[in-house]
C-alpha cells in the first residue's frame, strides 16, 4: 500500500507541474477593419477604415483610424474617390453632390499604403414604406407589470433576406420635456429603469443613444426595453442588403468577431453594405413624475 | 439495392435463430433474498472447475453441457453472502434453479473476486465500468447523489464545466452517448439545465458504462453506452424511503403485487417554498424554478418462463421569469414508457422484446412588451427491439437481435414577434422544420472461448437510415488473452455510425435540439481501436490500463447565427476529429473501504471547414490530464465517510489578438469587438476540487434513518467558467466568470 501512496502523491505533484495555464495573451496581430454602409438617397460618407488595436493598451477610436488609404467606390459608370479629414472620428466621404441610388451595384476598392487591398460589393435595396408610423407620443406604462404596448408600428416593402433593421435613437438625453409645450425646461431627464438596464460601469453601453434590432416581420409593438431615456426619439426602419444584415447580427449577437459574417475580401475584415431607411420621431412620456 | 432487398437482408440474421438446438443445463434467475429483485452480473460457478456463468441484464444465467451426477455450484455477488448448492443431475436434465442471495458484507470478498474475473463469460466487454449503486448513493455532489456526477469521477469522462453533468467520454460529446433506461433511449436526461442528471438514484439498481468498443448489440451512437436498469421493487413487502435534501426531496415506494412487484419513485425541488420567504422586488423578480421526475415500474411473472414489465419515466424542468414587460419561460421534459417481455424459450435461449416510446421536448417562449418569440424542439421515438441470447455452451454464446425506430423530430421557432404565424416550412424568422425518419438495425454477435487463455468475439451490426438512404455495416471484433493467470489483455475494434445530431451549446442545455440526418448532412462515423490490460494487483483491487484511438467523421457544431433554416446544414457545421489517449483505473468495489483512483491522458482534435480557418483545434472540453480519486469508508454500522478529489488540466478557451470598434448606423459608441486567435488554443488554470461526505445512521422511532452531510468544493476553489476580455470601455479588462464556492449541505433520509 505504501507503494500505491507513493504513486498517488508523485502523480499529483507531476500533474501540478505539467498542467500549467496559459496567461491571457498580449500578442498583437493587427487587422484592417472596414465599416462601409451606403444609405440610399444620402451622400457617400462615413466609410471607416481602422487598424485593430492591441488589448493591453487603452483603445483610442480616433487614433485607430487609417487616413492614408486610397478608397474608391465605383458604380461601373463612375468612380468616386473618397477623402477623409486629418482629425476626428468621421470616416471617408465623397466630396461632391452625388446621392446613393436605389437598386444599383457599388464596388469598394481600398488600397492601403503598405500595398494591401480590400474589396467589396453591394447592391442597394429598395425603400420600406410606412403603413402605420409611430404616434407622436408614447406613454411608458405606469404599471410596468405585465403591460404590453398598444402602439404598433407597421411598414411594408421587400426585405432583402427577410430581416428588417430597426433602430431607436434617444435625441433628448439631458433635458426631458424640452420639445413639449408647457413642460418646465428645468426638469432634467432621467433614465428608464428596467430589470435589464445597463450597468453604469459599462460606459459605452450605458451612454449609447441608439438601440438596434433585427426583426423578421413588417410590424412590431413598441418594445419598452429599447428605451434608456424619456423624451424625443428617432425611429428608423431599415431595408438592409445581405452584407449589412449579417453585420447587424455581428453587432448584436456576440462579443467576438465572427469571420463568417464579414463581407469584404482581401487584406481586411468588415462590411461593405447598404441600406434604405425611413425615419420618424416620437416622444416618450414618463411613467412617473 | 432496393428497399425490399435491404429489409430482407436486415431480417435474415434474425431468421438464423429459428432452428437453434437445445441442450441440458442448469439455468434460472439469481435474486436478492430480501426482496427478490433480480441481480445483474451475479456469478454462478461450478466448483472445482473454471466453468461458470454470469447473470445478464435480466438476472438470468445458464450453465450447459453438464455431466450427470453430483455437482456443486457457488453463487456470489458483490455485497451479498455467497451461497453453495449441491445438485444431482440426471442425464440430459435441464434443471431450473432460481437462487436467492442474502445481503452481506465483506465475507463475500474472495468469491466476489472470482465473480469479477468471470466478467466476460457471456461476452467480452472492454472499457466497461460498473459502479455499485450503494457506492453511487454515497458519492453526493451538493447533497444529491447522481449517476452522471459519479460517472464524471471516472478517468476519461470529462465535462464542459463543474456545473455540467454532460458526459464527454474519450473525446466524444454527450450526444454521442447512448443512454438507455431499461433498454429504452433517453435523450437529454438532465435537471437544473445540466447540473445534475434526471435519474433518481433511488429508482436505479444497476449502472454500466461502456466507454468505447461496445458490442454489436448497441448502435446508433459514436462513443459510449450508458446502461441503466430501474428497480423492479420488492416482492416481499411494501417499503419506502423519504429524503429531504438541499436541492430536492425524494420519495420511493415499492412492494409486491400479484405475481410480481411495483416501484414508484420521485423527486421534486421546493424552491417555491424558500422563495416565499425572500423579499419581493417587482423590478428585479426572482425567477420561479422547479424540477421533478418520476420513475415507475410494474413487473409481473407469468409462469416460470415469462416476465413482463411496464415502466415509465418522466422528468420536467421549468423556469419562469416575469419582470413586468419582460417575461419568459422555459421548459424541458423527458417522457419514456416501455413494455418489456422476457421469455425463456429453453434453458439455453433467452429472449427479450422491448417496445418503448420516448419523447423529449424543450420549449422557450418570451414576451417583451408584446413582442413574442418561441422556440421548441420535440423528438418522438418509438422503438421496437428484440434480442435472443443463445448459450450453445459455456464456450460459445451468441446474441442476435433487431431494432426498429420511428423518429419524429420537430424544430419550431418564431421570432417574428407574433406567435400565430407558424406555418409549414420556413420563412424569414419562422422555422417549422419537421423530420420524419425510420431506422432499422439488426445484429449478430458470437463469443467463443477457444481455451482457458484465449477468447474472441465477433459481431456485425447492419443499419439502414431511411431519410439519409444510408446503409451502414458495422463490424465489431474483440479478443481476450490471459498473458498470466491474473493478467488479461483485451483488444477491440469496431465501426460505429450515428444518425442523430444534436445542436447544443456546450455550457447550457437550454436549447438542445435533436435532428435527424437529412440530405444536407452526412451520417457520422467513428472507428474505435482499444487495447486494455486487466489485472488484480491486490486482493479486491481491479486494475485496468486502456489505450484507445477513435476517429470521428461528420461530427457537428452548432452555427450560432442562423437567419433561416430549411435543412440540417443551415443549423450545423460538419467536420472531423480524433481522440486518443490512455487511462489507468484502480477500483475497489467491496469491503469497508471502497473507491477508485483513475488517471487519463488524452488528446482530442477537431477540424471544420467553416471554423478556425479550417485548422485543427481542440474542443473546449479537452483536458490533457485527468486525475480522480474516490474513497468511501464504513467506519462502523452508524458512520461512513467519503471523499472525492479531481484534478484536471485547465479547460480550453479562445484568446484574442486585437480589438476594434463596431458602430452601426446612428450609434454613438457602438460595441467593442475582439479578433479571436486559434480556437480554444489557450488553457485556463488547472481545475481541482475536493468534496467530502459523511453519513450517520440511526434509529428514529423505529425507522432506519440517516443524516447526510456533504461539503461541496471544500477549499472553495472556484473554477473559471469563462474568461473573456471585456471591451465595453476603452480599457480592456480580462474578466473571469467563476463557478460555485464551498457549499455545505445537510440531508435527512428515512426508510420505512
**Concatenated DSSP letters for B119-146?**
TTSSS---SEEE--HHHHHH-EETTEE-
- Residues B262 and B60: their CA atoms lie apart, in Å, by 20
Q: Which of A163, A249, A257 sits opposite B676 (nearest CB)?
A: A257
Number of H helices, E strands in chain B: 5, 50
- Which residues make Cβ contacts (< 8 Å) with residue B54, sequence separation at least 6? B41, B42, B43, B44, B61, B115, B118, B119, B121, B122
Among the residue ranges A149-153, B40-44, B155-159, the one predicted with the least confidence is A149-153
**Is B150 strand, coil or helix?**
helix
The whole-number average pLDDT for the span A91-114 is 96
Please tell me the least confidently modeled range out of A55-59, B124-128, B142-146.
B142-146
* Residue pLDDT, tens place only, A71-89: 999 999 999 999 999 999 9
Residue B9: predicted pLDDT: 44
User: What digits encode the pLDDT tens for the residues B644-673?
Assistant: 999 999 888 889 999 999 999 999 889 999
Radius of gyration of chain B (CA): 27
Query: Rounded to whole angstroms, how far apart are CA atoms B64 and B24?
Result: 6
The rounded distance, in Å, linking the Cα atoms of B539 and B486 is: 11
Mean pLDDT of B282-297: 83
At B681, give phi and psi (nearest 5°). Answer: -85, -10
Instruction: Choose the mutation target among B540, B662, B685, B722 for the interface with A, i.e. most A CBs under 10 Å.
Output: B662
A19, A162, A223 ranked by CB distance to B369: nearest: A223
What would the DSSP string read from start to end of A144-210? Answer: -SS---S-EEEEE---SSSPEEEEEEES-SSSTTTTSTTS-TTS---B---TTPPPTTSHHHHH--E
**Do the Cβ atoms of B599 and A60 come within 8 Å?**
no
ipTM attached to this prediction: 0.89
Instruction: Look over chain B and give the mean of its residue pLDDT values, rounded to a whole number.
Output: 86
Read off the pLDDT of residues A254-276 as tens digits, 9 standing for 90 and up: 888 998 899 999 999 999 999 99
Q: Is the pLDDT of residue B384 over 90?
A: yes
Check CB contact under 8 Å for A212 and B369.
no
Residue of A nearest to B285 (CA): A195
pLDDT tens per residue, range B460-498: 999 999 998 999 999 999 999 999 888 999 999 999 999
Contact B686 A209 (CB under 8 A): no
Q: What is the pLDDT of residue B17?
A: 38
Asked if B674's CB is within 8 angstroms of A21's CB, the reply is no
Say yes or no: B702 contacts chain A, CB-CB below 8 A: no
Distance CA B404, CA B381 (A): 10
Among A287, A179, A289, A186, smallest CA distance to A231 is for A179
Q: Which residue has the higher pLDDT, B117 or B750?
A: B750
Closest alpha carbon within chain A to B597: A8
With an 8 Å Cβ cutoff, are B729 and A254 in contact? no
Q: Are B292 and B324 in contact (CB under 8 A)?
A: no
CA-CA distance, B719 to B741, in Å (whole number)?
A: 9
- Is residue A64 helix, strand or coil? helix
Judge contact between B651 and A234, C-beta under 8 A: no
Do A247 and B371 make contact, defined as CB atoms within 8 angstroms? no
Closest CB to B683: pick one of A22, A247, A250: A22
Instruction: State the Rg of chain A over Cα.
Output: 25
Q: Which of A283, A284, A278, A286 is nearest to A133 (CA)?
A: A278
Contacts of A91 (CB under 8 A, 6+ apart): A35, A36, A45, A46, A47, A48, A49, A65, A84
- pLDDT > 60? residue B366: yes
What pLDDT score does A145 carry?
Answer: 43
Query: Quick one: how far is CA B527 from the chain centroid?
Result: 20
What residues in B contact A257, CB-CB < 8 Å?
Answer: 660, 673-676
Verify whether the Cβ–Cβ distance A207 to B561 is below 8 Å: no
Question: What band does A196 get if pLDDT is binned at 50, 70 and 90?
Answer: low
Closest approach of A239 to chain B, Cα-based (Å): 12
Does residue B270 contact residue B289 with C-beta atoms inside 8 Å?
Answer: no
For the stretch B157-190, pLDDT in tens is 988 776 677 789 998 888 899 999 998 898 878 7
Count Cβ neighbours within 10 Å for each residue of B357-385 and write b for 16 or more, e otherwise.
bbbbbbbbbbbbbbbbbbbbbbbbbebeb
Taking a C-beta distance cutoff of 8 angstroms, is the pair A201, A272 a contact? no
Q: Which residue has the higher pLDDT, B282 or B671?
A: B671
Within 8 A of B670 by CB-CB distance, chain A residues are 204, 208, 251
On chain B, the residues whose CB falls within 8 A of the CB of A261 are: 561
Q: Give the pLDDT score at B10.
A: 43
Is B423's Cβ below 8 Å from some Cβ in A? no
**Rounded to a whole number, what is the distance in Å from the CA of B595 to chain A's nearest CA?**
14
User: Cα A267 to the chain's mean position, in Å?
Assistant: 22
Most confident of A192-196, B99-103, B628-632: B628-632
pLDDT of B221-272, one tens digit each? 999 999 999 999 999 899 999 988 877 888 999 999 999 999 999 998 887 7
Please give the pLDDT value at position A197: 53
Contact predicate B354/B374, CB 8 Å:
no
Q: What distance in Å separates the CA atoms of residue A264 and residue A273, rounded to the nearest whole number?
A: 9
Q: Does B370 touch chain A (CB under 8 A)?
A: yes
Measured between beta carbons, the chain B residues lying within 8 angstroms of A163 are: 428-429, 563
How do beta strands B656-662 and B248-257 pair?
unpaired
- Torsion, Cα B501 B503 B505 B511, to 10 degrees, reads -120
Residues A220, B627: C-beta atoms closer than 8 Å: no
- Rounded-to-integer distance, Cα B220 and Cα B439, Å: 9
Spatial CA neighbour of A276 closest among A105, A18, A103, A30 = A103
Query: What one-character DSSP code corresponds to residue B455?
Result: E
Nearest CB to A223 within list B368, B624, B728? B368
CB pairs under 8 A between A and B: 261
Q: What is the mean predicted confidence (pLDDT) over B617-643?
A: 92
Mean pLDDT for B40-63 is 84
Predicted confidence at residue A203, as pLDDT, reads 66
Cβ distance B673 to A256 less than 8 Å, yes or no, reads: yes
Interface test with B, best of A2, A52, A193 (most B CBs within 10 A): A52
Query: Grid coordinates standing for B132?
Result: 455499485
What does the pLDDT average to over A183-202? 58
Q: Which residues of A touch B417 (CB under 8 A)?
A: 215, 217, 219-221
Restricting to B residues 674-693, those with a Cβ less than 8 Å away from any Cβ of A are 674-677, 682-686
Q: Is B737 on the interface with A (CB under 8 A)?
A: no
Give the residues across from B349 on adjacent strands.
B346, B390
Contact A162 B325 (CB under 8 A): no
The residues, ordered by sequence, that sit 6+ positions from A182 with a Cβ below 8 Å of its Cβ are none
Residues 6+ apart with CB under 8 A from B9: B1, B462
Residue contact B659–A55, C-beta within 8 A: yes
First to last CA, chain B: 61
pLDDT digits (tens, 9 = 90+) for B588-607: 988 889 999 999 999 999 99
Asked if the C-beta of B371 comes within 8 angstroms of chain A's C-beta atoms, the answer is yes
Unique residue bearing C-alpha cell 416501484: B263
The minimal CB distance from A59 to the residues B415, B686, B730 is found for B730
Give per-residue pLDDT as tens, B372-382.
888 888 999 99
What pLDDT score does B607 carry? 95
**Interface contact B132, partner A, CB < 8 A:** no
Question: Can you give the pLDDT at residue B114?
Answer: 41
B328 and chain A: CB distance < 8 Å anywhere?
Answer: no
pTM of the model: 0.85
3-state secondary structure B723-748: EEEECCCCCCEEEEEECCCCEEEEEE
If pLDDT is split at 50, 70 and 90, which confidence band does B121 have?
low
CA-wise closest residue to A110 among A140, A81, A141: A81
Cβ separation A35–B662 shorter than 8 A: yes
- Among A18, A223, A256, the residue with its CB nearest the CB of B371 is A223
* Whole-Å CA distances, B625 to B121, B158, B534, B543, B580: 34, 10, 21, 19, 13
Amino acid at each position: 500500500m505504501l507503494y500505491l501512496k507513493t504513486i498517488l502523491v508523485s502523480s499529483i505533484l507531476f500533474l501540478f507541474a505539467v498542467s500549467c495555464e496559459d496567461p491571457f495573451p498580449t500578442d498583437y496581430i493587427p487587422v484592417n477593419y472596414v465599416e462601409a454602409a451606403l444609405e440610399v438617397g444620402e451622400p457617400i460618407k462615413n466609410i471607416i477604415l481602422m487598424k485593430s488595436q492591441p488589448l493591453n493598451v487603452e483603445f483610442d477610436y480616433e487614433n485607430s483610424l487609417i487616413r492614408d488609404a486610397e478608397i474608391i467606390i465605383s458604380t461601373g459608370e463612375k468612380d468616386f474617390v473618397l477623402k477623409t479629414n486629418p482629425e476626428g472620428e468621421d470616416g471617408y466621404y465623397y466630396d461632391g453632390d452625388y446621392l446613393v441610388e436605389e437598386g444599383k451595384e457599388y464596388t469598394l476598392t481600398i488600397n492601403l499604403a503598405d500595398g494591401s487591398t480590400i474589396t467589396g460589393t453591394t447592391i442597394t435595396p429598395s425603400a420600406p414604406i410606412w403603413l402605420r408610423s409611430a404616434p407622436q407620443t408614447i406613454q411608458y406604462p405606469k404599471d410596468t407589470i405585465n403591460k404590453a404596448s398598444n402602439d404598433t408600428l407597421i411598414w411594408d416593402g421587400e426585405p432583402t433576406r427577410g430581416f428588417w433593421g430597426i433602430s431607436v435613437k434617444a435625441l433628448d438625453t439631458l433635458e426631458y420635456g424640452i420639445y413639449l409645450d408647457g413642460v418646465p425646461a428645468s426638469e432634467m431627464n432621467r433614465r428608464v429603469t428596467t430589470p435589464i438596464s445597463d450597468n453604469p460601469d459599462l460606459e459605452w453601453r450605458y451612454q449609447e443613444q441608439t438601440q438596434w434590432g433585427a426583426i423578421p416581420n413588417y410590424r412590431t409593438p413598441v418594445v419598452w426595453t429599447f428605451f434608456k431615456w424619456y423624451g424625443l426619439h428617432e425611429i428608423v426602419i431599415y431595408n438592409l442588403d445581405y452584407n449589412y444584415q449579417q453585420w447587424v447580427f455581428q453587432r448584436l449577437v456576440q462579443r467576438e468577431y465572427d469571420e463568417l459574417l464579414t463581407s469584404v475580401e482581401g487584406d481586411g475584415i468588415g462590411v461593405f453594405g447598404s441600406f434604405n431607411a425611413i425615419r420618424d420621431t416620437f416622444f416618450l412620456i414618463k411613467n412617473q413624475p | 439495392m432496393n428497399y425490399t432487398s435491404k429489409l430482407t437482408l436486415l431480417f435474415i440474421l434474425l431468421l438464423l435463430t429459428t432452428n437453434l438446438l437445445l441442450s441440458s443445463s442448469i439455468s434460472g434467475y439469481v435474486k436478492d433474498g430480501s426482496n427478490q429483485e433480480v441481480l445483474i452480473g451475479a456469478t454462478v460457478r461450478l466448483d472445482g472447475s473454471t466453468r461458470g456463468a454470469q447473470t445478464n441484464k435480466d438476472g438470468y444465467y445458464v450453465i450447459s453441457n453438464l455431466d450427470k451426477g453430483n455437482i456443486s455450484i457457488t453463487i456470489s455477488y458483490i455485497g451479498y453472502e455467497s451461497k453453495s448448492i449441491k445438485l444431482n443431475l440426471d442425464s440430459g436434465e435441464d434443471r431450473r434453479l432460481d437462487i436467492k442471495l442474502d445481503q452481506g458484507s465483506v465475507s463475500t470478498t474472495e468469491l466476489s473476486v472470482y465473480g469479477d474475473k468471470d466478467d466476460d463469460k457471456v461476452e467480452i466487454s472492454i472499457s466497461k465500468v460498473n459502479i455499485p449503486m450503494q457506492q453511487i448513493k454515497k458519492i453526493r455532489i451538493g447533497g444529491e447523489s447522481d449517476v452522471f456526477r459519479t460517472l464524471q469521477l471516472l478517468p476519461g469522462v470529462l465535462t464542459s464545466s463543474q456545473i455540467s453533468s454532460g458526459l464527454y467520454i474519450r473525446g466524444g460529446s454527450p450526444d454521442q452517448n447512448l443512454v438507455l433506461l431499461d433498454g429504452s433511449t433517453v435523450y437529454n436526461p438532465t435537471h437544473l439545465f445540466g447540473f445534475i442528471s434526471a435519474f433518481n438514484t433511488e429508482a436505479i439498481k444497476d449502472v454500466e458504462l461502456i466507454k468505447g468498443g461496445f458490442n454489436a448489440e448497441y448502435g446508433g451512437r459514436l462513443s459510449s453506452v450508458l446502461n441503466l436498469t430501474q428497480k423492479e421493487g420488492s416482492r416481499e413487502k411494501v417499503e419506502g424511503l423519504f429524503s429531504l435534501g438541499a436541492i430536492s426531496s425524494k420519495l420511493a415506494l415499492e412492494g409486491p403485487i400479484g405475481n410480481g412487484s411495483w416501484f414508484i419513485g420521485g423527486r421534486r425541488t421546493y424552491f417555491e417554498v424558500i422563495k416565499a420567504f425572500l423579499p419581493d422586488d417587482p423590478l428585479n423578480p426572482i425567477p420561479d424554478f422547479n424540477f421533478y421526475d418520476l420513475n415507475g415500474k410494474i413487473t409481473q411473472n407469468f409462469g416460470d418462463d415469462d416476465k413482463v414489465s411496464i415502466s415509465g419515466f418522466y422528468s420536467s424542468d421549468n423556469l419562469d421569469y416575469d419582470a413586468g414587460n419582460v417575461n419568459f419561460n422555459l421548459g424541458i421534459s423527458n417522457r419514456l414508457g416501455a413494455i418489456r417481455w422476457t421469455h425463456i424459450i429453453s434453458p439455453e435461449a433467452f429472449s427479450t422484446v422491448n417496445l418503448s416510446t420516448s419523447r423529449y421536448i424543450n420549449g422557450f417562449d418570451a414576451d417583451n412588451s408584446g413582442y413574442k418569440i418561441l422556440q421548441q424542439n420535440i423528438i418522438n421515438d418509438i422503438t421496437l427491439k428484440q434480442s435472443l441470447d443463445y448459450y450453445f455452451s459455456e464456450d460459445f454464446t451468441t446474441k442476435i437481435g433487431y431494432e426498429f425506430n420511428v423518429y419524429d423530430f420537430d424544430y419550431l421557432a418564431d421570432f417574428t414577434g407574433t406567435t400565430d404565424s407558424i406555418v409549414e416550412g420556413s420563412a424569414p424568422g419562422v422555422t417549422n422544420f419537421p423530420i420524419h425518419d425510420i431506422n432499422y438495425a439488426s445484429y449478430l454477435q458470437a463469443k467463443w472461448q477457444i481455451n482457458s487463455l484465449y477468447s474472441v468475439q465477433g459481431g456485425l451490426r447492419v443499419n439502414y437510415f431511411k431519410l439519409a438512404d444510408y446503409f451502414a455495416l458495422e463490424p465489431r471484433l474483440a479478443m481476450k488473452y490471459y498473458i498470466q493467470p491474473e493478467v488479461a489483455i483485451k483488444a477491440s475494434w469496431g465501426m460505429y455510425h450515428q444518425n442523430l445530431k444534436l445542436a447544443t451549446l456546450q455550457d447550457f442545455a437550454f436549447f438542445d435540439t435533436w435532428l435527424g440526418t437529412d440530405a444536407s448532412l452526412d451520417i457520422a462515423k467513428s472507428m474505435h481501436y482499444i487495447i486494455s490490460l486487466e489485472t488484480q494487483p491486490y486482493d479486491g483491487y481491479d486494475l485496468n490500463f486502456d489505450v484507445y484511438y477513435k476517429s470521428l467523421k461528420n461530427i457537428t457544431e452548432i452555427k450560432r447565427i442562423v437567419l433561416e433554416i430549411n435543412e440540417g446544414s443551415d443549423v450545423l457545421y460538419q467536420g472531423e476529429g480524433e481522440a486518443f489517449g490512455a487511462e489507468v483505473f484502480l477500483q475497489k468495489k467491496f469491503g469497508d473501504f471502497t473507491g477508485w483512483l483513475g488517471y487519463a491522458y488524452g488528446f482530442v482534435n477537431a477540424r471544420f471547414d467553416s471554423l478556425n480557418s479550417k485548422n485543427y483545434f481542440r474542443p473546449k472540453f479537452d483536458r490533457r490530464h485527468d486525475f480522480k480519486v474516490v474513497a468511501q469508508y464504513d467506519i462502523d454500522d452508524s458512520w461512513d465517510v467519503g471523499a472525492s478529489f479531481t484534478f484536471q488540466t485547465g479547460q480550453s478557451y479562445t484568446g484574442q489578438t486585437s480589438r476594434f470598434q463596431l458602430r452601426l448606423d446612428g450609434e454613438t459608441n457602438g460595441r467593442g469587438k475582439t479578433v479571436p486567435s486559434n480556437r480554444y488554443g489557450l488553457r485556463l488554470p488547472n481545475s481541482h476540487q475536493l468534496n467530502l461526505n459523511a453519513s450517520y445512521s440511526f434509529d428514529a422511532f423505529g425507522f432506519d434513518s440517516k443524516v447526510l452531510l456533504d461539503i461541496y468544493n471544500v477549499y472553495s476553489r472556484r473554477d473559471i467558467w469563462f474568461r473573456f476580455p471585456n471591451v465595453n470601455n476603452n480599457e480592456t479588462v480580462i474578466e473571469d466568470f467563476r463557478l460555485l464556492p464551498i457549499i455545505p449541505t445537510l440531508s435527512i433520509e428515512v426508510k420505512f
